[in-house]
Structures are given as C-alpha cells and as structure tokens.
C-alpha cells in the first residue's frame, strides 16, 4: 500500500470537500435579508479537496489584494468561505465579512513570518499592541482584528501606539509577565488567533484511519466544517510543522519549500527543466545580440 511507504500528513488524512463558485458577483441588497449590505453571491459548482489540492491556500487568501475583483476571483476558484451559515449558502456572504476574514488571516501570517525570521519586534505596535494590566502585560490585537473578533464597534476606536487604532477599555486577548520578550508576546497573540478561529469555526478533533497495518492504524486529526475553518487549520498545520511555502517562479504554483535549499525557486523537476531552458534561450539571445553589434 502507498500509505505503508511513508507517514501521511494530517492534511492528506482529512477528507474535506468544498464547492467552487460559478459566476460570483457582488450585489447591493438594499432590501430583503440584509438591507444595505454588499453581498458576494454565486452558484456552487464542482467539488474539490482544499487541504489536499491546495496546501498553501491560507497563504493565497492572506496575500489577496483588498479589492472586489481579487475576492471574487478567489470565490470563483475556491468557493464561499462559510463564515455566515456554516456551509454553502444560497443567500451569499457579506463582502465586508470577506475583507475582515482576509485581514485576520493576513495578520496571523505576518505574526508567524515574524517569529520564523526572528523579527518579532517588527510587528509590535502594528499587529500586536501591549498595555500594562495589574502588574502584568496585556496583549491586545489592533483595531481591525478586534472588530473581526466582535469585541468592539468601529465607532469606538481611539488613536493608539504609533498611529495604530486600538480598542478602548477592552479586555486583552491574553496576559503575560511584565518582563516578557517580544517573541513570547507575539507567540501568545498568534496562539490566541489560531485557537479562537478553530473554535469559532467548529474545527473539531477526530480519530482517522491512517492506512497502516500495524499498531492501531489510527491518527489524531481534525474535521473542518467550512472553507474558512480549513484555512485556519492549514495555518495551524504550517505552524506545527514550521513549514514554509513559496510560489514557483515558473508555474506560479505554491509549493512546500520546507527543508529545500534557500536558493531553490521551482516546485518540480519539470519546472526546473523549464527554467534551465528559459535561461539558456535568454543567454543565446544575448550572445546573438552581442555578435550582431560587433
């Protein structure tokens, strides 16, 4: 069996399927179910397996431009997020909700990147805010994430550290010792975001057969109910495995670069051959131009 030759990743063990979206568009529902809200609507189409087919989909989502066109393109390729109804909806989803979900994921990815690169200080005051709390240090999230969490209304924001808008009189998401390092503070904020999101979007633990004929043949894994839950689960897997994903310079596919040489830029042998051919062609063109000028 193929499963006997290697340990399957947690993502490979999860049989989570979701619908892509046909002809998504934004409509202004001035009347009806959600008065005055721009809503992304579309027709659910073919099914696919996000966790198996798109291992870095959370990163694609985080890096989206905050534009209607970019969000609609993502919806067409990958479907509704599922944050409003816990599944595929015939009513659509708030465009503003999509924007908040993307901002939350982008913030979490920035925290993870800062921890990996040893630059936790770079996100202090922007993605993480601290204030004294009874002999401890309170860890706060910036305004956009506090709105996303439902802790505050936009109208209650006040100017904060380095121009960051922070919520007034809001409970911190966590408290840490007063002398905590920036690294611990950022770790605490990221852990809260992932834990909150997986709980909020009903990502539940499960025991799944792993295909092995020895031992119990079972693995601890998780079951997402929605695409947005699956994206946060992907990020959790990435954090747990300290994984790194990069976009292939030849085919633009996101690939798992964990453990690869730092200068490796392609996802496969096929793309490596394409890159070599492209570089040879470019070199021959330059030589031809040089010979013509002599």
Separation in Å, CA 186 to CA 79, 114, 141, 173: 31, 8, 10, 12
Provide the pLDDT for residue 9: 73
Taking alpha carbons only, the member of 199, 234, 202, 192 closest to residue 78 is 234
Provide the pLDDT for residue 35: 57
Please, are residues 213 and 4 in contact by the beta-carbon 8 Å criterion? yes
Provide the pLDDT for residue 238: 92
Which residues have a Cβ under 8 Å from the Cβ of 83 and sit 6 or more positions away? 93, 97, 101, 201, 226, 228
pLDDT digits (tens, 9 = 90+) for 215-230: 898 988 899 999 999 9
pLDDT digits (tens, 9 = 90+) for 67-103: 999 999 999 999 999 988 666 666 789 898 899 999 9
Domain ranges, ordered by start, for the chain: 2-243, 247-294
Provide the pLDDT for residue 86: 62
CB burial of residue 266 (10 Å; 0-12, 13-18, 19+): buried
State the sign of the Cα–Cα–Cα–Cα dihedral 186, 189, 194, 197: negative
Backbone angles phi, psi at 195, to 5 degrees: -65, -45
Separation in Å, CA 43 to CA 24, 27, 28, 253: 7, 14, 17, 26
C-alpha to C-alpha distance for 97 and 148, rounded to whole angstroms: 8
Provide the pLDDT for residue 74: 97
Name the stretches of the chain with pLDDT < 70: 1-8, 29-36, 85-90, 146-147, 150-170, 257, 269, 282, 286, 288-294
Provide the pLDDT for residue 154: 38
Backbone angles phi, psi at 141, to 5 degrees: -100, 155
| Calculated CA dihedral for residues 30, 33, 39, 41, nearest 10 degrees | -120
C-alpha to C-alpha distance for 76 and 264, rounded to whole angstroms: 31
| Calculated CA dihedral for residues 214, 215, 218, 220, nearest 10 degrees | -130
Taking alpha carbons only, the member of 114, 118, 173 closest to residue 141 is 173
Please, are residues 166 and 142 in contact by the beta-carbon 8 Å criterion? yes
End-to-end CA distance of the chain: 63
Provide the pLDDT for residue 36: 62
Provide the pLDDT for residue 109: 96
CB burial of residue 189 (10 Å; 0-12, 13-18, 19+): buried
């Amino acid at each position: 069996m193929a499963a006997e030759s290697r340990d399957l990743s947690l993502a490979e063990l999860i049989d989570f399927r979701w619908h892509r979206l046909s002809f998504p568009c934004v409509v202004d529902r001035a009347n009806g179910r959600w008065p005055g809200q721009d809503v992304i609507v579309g027709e659910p189409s073919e099914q696919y397996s996000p966790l198996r087919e798109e291992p870095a989909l959370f990163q694609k989502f985080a890096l989206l431009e905050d534009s209607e066109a970019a969000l609609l393109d993502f919806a067409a390729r990958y479907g509704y997020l599922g944050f409003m109804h816990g599944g595929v909806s015939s009513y659509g989803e708030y465009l503003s909700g999509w924007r908040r979900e993307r901002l939350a994921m982008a913030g979490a990815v920035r925290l993870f990147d800062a921890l990996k690169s040893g630059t936790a200080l770079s996100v202090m005051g922007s993605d993480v805010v601290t204030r004294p709390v009874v002999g401890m240090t309170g860890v706060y999230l910036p305004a956009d994430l506090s709105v996303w969490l439902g802790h505050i209304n936009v109208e209650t924001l006040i100017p904060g550290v380095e121009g960051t808008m922070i919520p007034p009189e809001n409970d911190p998401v966590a408290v840490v010792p007063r002398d905590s390092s920036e690294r611990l503070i950022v770790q605490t904020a990221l852990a809260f975001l992932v834990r909150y999101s997986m709980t909020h979007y009903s990502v539940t633990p499960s025991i799944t057969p792993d295909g092995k004929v020895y031992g119990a043949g079972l693995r601890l894994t998780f079951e997402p109910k929605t695409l947005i839950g699956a994206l946060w689960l992907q990020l959790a897997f990435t954090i747990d495995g300290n994984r790194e994903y990069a976009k292939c310079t030849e085919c633009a596919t996101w690939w798992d670069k964990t453990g690869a040489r730092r200068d490796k830029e392609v996802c496969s042998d096929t793309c490596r051959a394409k890159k070599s051919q492209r570089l040879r062609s470019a070199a021959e063109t330059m030589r031809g131009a040089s010979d013509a000028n002599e």
